[in-house]
Structure 1
Amino acid sequence: MRRGSLRRVGRQSGFFPDLERAQRRRAQRLQPALTIDIPSLRRHAQSQYYFLDDRERLDRRAREILECCKSYELAVGTGHVSWRESLALVEAARDIGFTRIIINHPLNQIIGAPVDALRRAAELGAFVEVCWNILAPGRMDAPELVHKLREIGLKQVVASTDYFRPYCPHPAELMRMFLGMLHEGGLNKEEVKQIAVANPARFMGLA
């Protein structure tokens, strides 16, 4: 059974389920940098949590997280939990009128969410993140990704880089490259602006 850990990432971000399983602190060189930014990671690096009960229903703690984030006007990112957990969180958020929830990199291999599930999540008001690394060499090509994004619904898609390797370009340059690849893959300029500017602004409550 796929499991995910529970993280509190600062006051502004609220609760964030799983942060790369604490980047496997014994094996990941990047871990020291992360623990500087997120001190609580040191205390909870090995803890994990699964948000669904034996009947695949969202459990009480997950619902409390959503209620808390709604009360404090915080955003929720689903991180590396399974796509089934993410969809359950989205459905529960809809039930309480909470819309500041985003499914993180669900098309990447680590999550592998089906397009139908993401379309359903978008219809319920959740945002769906798409990251540069899905177009990294050897992975998906841009036209295929654009096709999937159109199936999900561009209105709820948010573009990001989600990449922080020391040998990568600066995040701003990486975003420029990513948006250019999506444009070449079939998105027009207004659609690129929608997923890179308009949708993120709506998610953050700025528009």
Structure 2
Amino acid sequence: MTDAQLLPPNRSALESALAAVSTLALDTDGLRHLWSARDCLAEALPWLSWALTVEGWSDARSEEARRAVILDSINIHRRKGTPWAIRALIRALGFGEVFIIERVGGITRNGFASHNGEYPRAPISSTWATYKVVFDRPITNHQAERIRSLLPSVAPARCHLVGLRYAAVANSHNGATRRDGAFNRGSA
């Protein structure tokens, strides 16, 4: 598109002459796709995420992950306050599938339940609005901190996160890895 085509139809002769001799070259091909996360220019993605109030955009590492977070943000906004929104946000950030344990608590000392560390011994009346997120893969302490800060924006307002747990262990006791504080032993 030339600069003269950008001028309105009621342009004056002076404006047309100035546009003809101007050295300003505008590339308007990317402007028509500003509101499309799939086709938007990479330089405009931060502004698109800001306009759509996307949670977790800065935590996405690659351009594809950022586009996926923006695309999922509309569905996440529609279903905020549900376990689906928690799973979708974590999936869009690239952490894979998670399992959510709701109502963490309710084990009493009556001899029928074994205490395995998953559920605290507390009455269900005090722990009904709690949940725990279980990951398939290990997460670092920094990632856990960021997830903890993002979950209240999509989780039900009445619920409280009890913990983040992962089944696979990042460090094994074989001497090949050193403990630098980046990982915990299965929970964060």
User: Normalising to structure 1: TM-score of the pair?
Assistant: 0.22
Greater Rg over alpha carbons, structure: 2
User: Normalising to structure 2: TM-score of the pair?
Assistant: 0.23
